[in-house]
Amino acid sequence: MKVIITGGCGFIGSALVRMVISTTNWSVVNLDALTYAAQPANVGEAEGNPRYKLVHADICDSTALDTLFASEQPDGIIHLAAESHVDRSIDGPAAFLQTNVVGTFELLQATRRYLQTQPEAKRNAFRFQHVSTDEVFGALSENDPAFTETTPYSPRSPYSATKAASDHLVNAWHHTFGLPVVMSNCSNNYGPYQYPEKLIPATIIRALSGQPIQIYGRGENVRDWIHVEDHVRGLLKVFTEGKIGESYNIGGYGEKRNIEVVQAIIAALDDFQPRTDGTSYAAQITYVTDRPGHDFRYAINPAKMVQDLNWHAEFSFADGIRQTVQWYLANQHWWQAIASGATQRIGTNVVPFQPEKKQA
């Protein structure tokens, strides 16, 4: 099998590339525009593997997509390429509309054109997997039940609105044109290789750099966390076993207030690399003005994944966050190179992520 993975140099995409190369005999074509958050070094051991190819192209470029499909003749596509940072979507929403909406449209159209040229057996076996977020469902109050696959969409940021639009496009192309799609919505991911602008790596890096550890409001907002390796295992389950036209929520039962996440990181740093003055990194916590439209709570109910696909998260948040902190400590050259703009020089000299223990 040959699969195209879009956005395979990003955080989640690269984790998927690494897992596919290491656990299957599939070939992977990594289609990535290599924007600011994409790091070719993230694919690690996949580089140099004859079953792996990186193609530098934009999903908004229909000519490039047609050429790629014609030359590679893929058996499926897993679409992760997206602009994903809420703060950036508030400051500059145009890029989110272009990549998340227009890019998904162009990819759907290119897939349609390609499948029209294929024999029936290949058309029937092909899958277009679209990867989305829990943020499309809007916000929950303290006691609301977690999101399910049937929760009405109610996006509240430019980022989530563009992801919701792309979800609707994928669903429409399935029902109108018969495109063989499967979809998934995930909760907040964390783990190795996450770009430093996101909460967990930003907290680790600010702590180690002696900078203020910034928390919006009072840190009471709740997010549902899942380790990236659990997520990509779920993606492979959906791709290989999910039912055409169905959507699946992938979550790790990991609801935490933002302040609890920061406190867990600080506890790990205090253990693994204490401050030279002997005090806790907690001294660096500072509270800043909340961002506009900050949703209070997200939570995913993954019961359908568990029951229909026999998938469950293996990492507890307690174990996963400590292992993540260890990875950032062992690979400081990775995020320091990003901070200095020297990302093209870091190559693959990254310490592999070796989980010490997984706990359901």
The catalytic residue positions are 134-135, 159
Q: Which of 236, 252, 247, 258 is nearest to 317 (CA)?
A: 252
